[in-house]
Structure 1
């Protein structure tokens, strides 16, 4: 199993971000080839020190790193990545990694 972790920093207009993310970006991302599961944070994002400078965390599940890379090389992946500039004005970081249960 592999995961893509997407950290969205605080946007200028959180309500506009939320509307766009749910109505446009999620439907784009759900078309990624090989996507197994898509989760987003619900409510405030915090750290042990208190509130984090994050608005939303998305976790996308794939079978492997190769599947993540292949997904983002596809037309659907290019459209999803290209869409970030349309709403993520606070900044966004993407990380992907293999996972194992322990």
Structure 2
């Protein structure tokens, strides 16, 4: 399995972010080929030191890192990436990696 993590910094208007993210961005991103599961954080994102500066963390699961890369290069993946400019002005960090059980 492999995962892609999208970490969204806290926007100026969290309610507007949430409306756009769940109403527009999620339906676009869910069309990325190879996507197996799409999870998001629920509530405040914390750290051992307290509140973080992240509003939302999304975890997208695929069968492999190669599938993530293919999905991002697809028209649907490019549409999801282009849509970030419409709502993630506070900043977003994207990471992807293969996973293994330990």
Corresponding position of 2:45: 45
Tell me the CA shift for residue 89 of structure 1.
1.1
CA RMSD of aligned residues (A): 0.4
Alignment match, 2:54: 54
Instruction: Confirm or deny: 8 A CA contact 1:12 1:89 kept in the other structure.
Output: no
**Which runs of structure 1 show a deviation greater than 4 angstroms over 4 or more consecutive aligned residues?**
none
TM-score (norm 1): 0.99
1:18 maps to which residue? Answer: 18
Q: Distance between the aligned counterparts of 1:97 and 1:85, measured in 2?
A: 24
How far did residue 95 of structure 1 move?
0.2
TM-score by length of 2: 0.99
SS of the residue corresponding to residue 43 of structure 1 reads coil
Q: Which runs of 5+ in 2 are unaligned?
A: none
Match runs of 1:1-102 below 5 Å: 1-102=1-102
- Separation in 2 of the partners of 1:85 and 1:12? 15
Count of aligned residue pairs for this structure pair: 102
**Structure 1 unaligned spans of 5+:** none
